[in-house]
């Protein structure tokens, strides 16, 4: 199952989650299959570009993909968390989701000024979460080297909220 296409075929949809009318893309089967997970990490390596120095992994599934990428490439990883989960908050941003609002935070004094940061998440939908994570990286003085996601839902046009930043999806739906 080392083939990226086959790996991504393991993703499944869950209708009406977390709210009625939302079609949720569940990547748990990809995460649970070691060769599929390796294929995703390798896919990120191929598209991520040169020179990231740190990975910013977005809660929650982004943590898993981001940590795996960072560990296999000799990089550190910083969590981008939902509000109230960090003991030391450096910056926080509130943003809109397709079904409400949310707040993300990044730890203080972890991202260094000028540091090239690769932002990793599972799915790019409307782009609010990824844009908020990029804003946090930039507010901390980091440079967004690229945004990498496993799946992109093109019809929701989330890429438009990330203008000026390289965005790479392993599969576009």
pLDDT at 43: 95
The 10s digit of each residue's pLDDT in 115-150 is 999 999 999 999 999 999 999 999 999 999 999 999
Nearest to 119 by CA among 160, 69, 46, 83: 69
Alpha carbon 147 to chain centroid distance? 7
81 noted as active-site residue: no
Report residue 1's pLDDT band, with 50, 70 and 90 as the boundaries: very low
Q: Rounded distance, CA 38 to CA 25, Å?
A: 19
Question: What is the percentage of the chain residues whose pLDDT exceeds 70?
Answer: 98
pLDDT at 18 > cutoff 90? no
Closest CA to 50 of 146, 163, 151: 146
CATH of residue 94's domain is 3.40.50.2020
pTM across the whole model: 0.94
Which residue among the candidates 59, 98, 138, 171 is catalytic per the annotation? Answer: 98
Residue 13 placed within a domain: no
Q: Is residue 11 domain-resident?
A: no
- Split into its structural domains, the chain has a count of 1
Residue 19 lies in a domain: no
Domain region containing 73? 49-172
Q: Is 113 helix (H, G, I), strand (E, B) or coil?
A: coil
As a whole number, the mean pLDDT across the chain is 93
The answer to whether position 55 is within a domain reads yes
Mark whether 98 is an active-site residue.
yes
pLDDT band for 29, please (50, 70, 90 cuts).
Answer: very high
């Amino acid at each position: 199952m080392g083939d990226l296409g086959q790996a991504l075929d393991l993703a499944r949809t869950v209708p009406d989650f977390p709210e009625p009318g939302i079609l949720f893309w569940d990547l748990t089967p990809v995460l649970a299959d070691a060769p599929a997970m390796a294929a995703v990490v390798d896919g990120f390596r191929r598209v991520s570009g040169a020179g990231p120095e740190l990975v910013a992994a977005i809660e929650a599934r982004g943590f898993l993909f981001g940590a795996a990428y960072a560990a296999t490439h000799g990089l550190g990883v910083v969590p981008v968390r939902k509000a109230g989960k960090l003991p030391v908050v450096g910056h926080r941003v509130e943003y809109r989701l397709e079904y409400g609002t949310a707040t993300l935070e990044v730890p203080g004094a972890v991202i260094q000024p000028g540091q090239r940061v690769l932002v990793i998440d599972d799915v790019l939908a409307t782009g609010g979460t990824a844009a908020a994570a990029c804003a946090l990286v930039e507010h901390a003085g980091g440079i967004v080297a690229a945004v990498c996601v496993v799946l992109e839902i093109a019809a929701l046009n989330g890429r438009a909220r990330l203008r000026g930043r390289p965005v790479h999806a392993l599969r576009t739906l």
